[in-house]
Structure 1
């Protein structure tokens, strides 16, 4: 994910959708990974073929910042909207200028233990389908090649005119060559390959499509854009065939992830969440584990 980008829900990522569950929904506060693992082991044994949905909390241990705090509130200003990106040259300049600093944070990130533990759950047939809201491709690099990138992938760029796809690194290098003066800036990395850089971007030269001159955009779903329907349909079909839903590292405040909890709840399928802090689904889950992800999954797999 990249400078000012964001992932959408089925209408808009920032849309309202169903109401958020009550903030006082009962939570299972676990004081150790072993305690949390004991509850998760029972959930897995009762529901041996899981649909797993992961979010930003999966990748924070890889050095990729997340969006929200423990209450599900934004930590910083919301990312750019899809329509703004498409209509405003100034927005695109700011986006690509900040991504000169922010993109390497995602490009250079390595899978952390949690990604490998999810891959092990697949290998041991505890997970039949993995969907991630992240665009960092860390699940695939950790041994989950079939993981579905619900919101796309940040390592590819697509031309919005002719559809040509190219490497993000290639576009990144072109932007560097076009804007040598911007290489002197440093800033703190932000979610989606963004960076907390506040300078004048009016002179920034945006790299356009090398084939047709069209607008280039990371191949991810921004706020205000739609997740491709075939991707959602396939995920729903996999959820329908699963015994239960396990959400890892997501506050579910974005409807594109929450809808899987809503569908599972409507079907009477059990739902478990493993996440530090509140989630949007707290009012409908069967098991809420407020515990660290990697340590809990490690202890779970050791005794499962």
Structure 2
């Protein structure tokens, strides 16, 4: 690791350091994770040590092959969706959007499924893991807005409307010990097939087109900045590793450890939103 990455204390003026680090770079590849959305009320997946704060999300094979697991997912999603959908872009999202609007040479790739970068005004965002605000039929490929599906689920499951539960990072709620088999799960309105959120579940691969778009952007970049991600998931870490293998400077803005700490050229442990707002103007 570069000495800058290990020696910088947490209370250093992170915004000034980041501003100076960015100054010579004309094309920055920015990768964001859950940490940039916590100020919008969406919780972290992991703690500062990189460990899970909850049970891992549902596996794709369980969703497709186990009717009760699927019902449990949709019940939790139904209860959690209103809070997730009400989240609004925060200072970090808007700072990145303004920065990109001033200079569209910078590319924004996100591991988040909340769509907040686009809502803040960022253009051509590569949503690596998809977006939760749309569902897709696994049989015929038809797509539908998640908000429309919510109304259908409410009509079919009136007894589940007023359940209060803690929100979780991927738009569901912390429900346990209920008769999930009684929850009426949704089907495709066109073919009656199985539908799921248009996001990458555990056990699924990131679509090749998204990976290719990110790889192309990284090939054209002269630096990489990671914001709010521990990079514990390989789909994000591979870009950090590729950047360093290509000789690009790599900066990390994240509270807690990341998988790329030992290859970074700069590590800043500071608040994402406040730092980006002050550094990018």
Aligned counterparts of 2:207 and 2:104: Cα–Cα separation in 1: 27
**Cα offset, 1:228, TM superposition:** 0.7
After superposition, residues 190-229 of structure 1 pair within 5 angstroms as 190-198=168-176, 199-229=178-208
Match of 1:4 in 2: none
Match of 1:149 in 2: 127
Task: Decide whether the 8 Å contact of 2:228 with 2:272 is kept in 1.
Answer: yes
**Cα offset, 1:75, TM superposition:** 0.2
Match of 1:276 in 2: 255
Aligned counterparts of 2:37 and 2:44: Cα–Cα separation in 1: 8
**TM-score scaled by structure 2?**
0.95
Match of 1:264 in 2: 243
Aligned counterparts of 1:148 and 1:203: Cα–Cα separation in 2: 37
Which of 8, 16, 24 pairs up with 1:46?
24
Aligned counterparts of 1:161 and 1:216: Cα–Cα separation in 2: 8
Q: Does structure 1 residue 301 correspond to structure 2 residue 280?
A: yes
Q: Does structure 1 residue 234 correspond to structure 2 residue 213?
A: yes
Aligned counterparts of 2:23 and 2:51: Cα–Cα separation in 1: 33
Aligned counterparts of 1:243 and 1:65: Cα–Cα separation in 2: 32
Task: Decide whether the 8 Å contact of 2:96 with 2:280 is kept in 1.
Answer: no
**Which secondary structure does the structure 2 equivalent of 1:106 belong to?**
helix
What are structure 1's unaligned runs of at least 5 residues? 1-20
**Which secondary structure does the structure 2 equivalent of 1:194 belong to?**
coil
Match of 1:16 in 2: none
Task: Decide whether the 8 Å contact of 1:208 with 1:216 is kept in 2.
Answer: yes
Aligned counterparts of 2:276 and 2:142: Cα–Cα separation in 1: 40
Aligned counterparts of 2:55 and 2:104: Cα–Cα separation in 1: 38
After superposition, residues 32-181 of structure 1 pair within 5 angstroms as 35-125=13-103, 128-181=106-159
Match of 1:253 in 2: 232
- Aligned pair count reads 277
Shifted more, 37-46 versus 262-271: the winner is 37-46
Q: Residues 251 and 86 (structure 1 numbering): CA distance in 2 closer, same or farther, change over 3 Å?
A: same
Which of 16, 30, 33 pairs up with 2:10?
30
**TM-score scaled by structure 1?**
0.88
Structure 1 ranges of 4+ moved more than 6 A: none
**Which secondary structure does the structure 1 equivalent of 2:279 belong to?**
helix
**Cα offset, 1:126, TM superposition:** 7.6
Aligned counterparts of 1:146 and 1:221: Cα–Cα separation in 2: 19
Aligned counterparts of 1:105 and 1:251: Cα–Cα separation in 2: 24
Aligned counterparts of 2:225 and 2:26: Cα–Cα separation in 1: 11
**Cα offset, 1:29, TM superposition:** 2.6
Aligned counterparts of 2:145 and 2:277: Cα–Cα separation in 1: 34
Aligned counterparts of 1:127 and 1:91: Cα–Cα separation in 2: 43
Aligned counterparts of 2:144 and 2:80: Cα–Cα separation in 1: 19
**Which secondary structure does the structure 2 equivalent of 1:38 belong to?**
helix
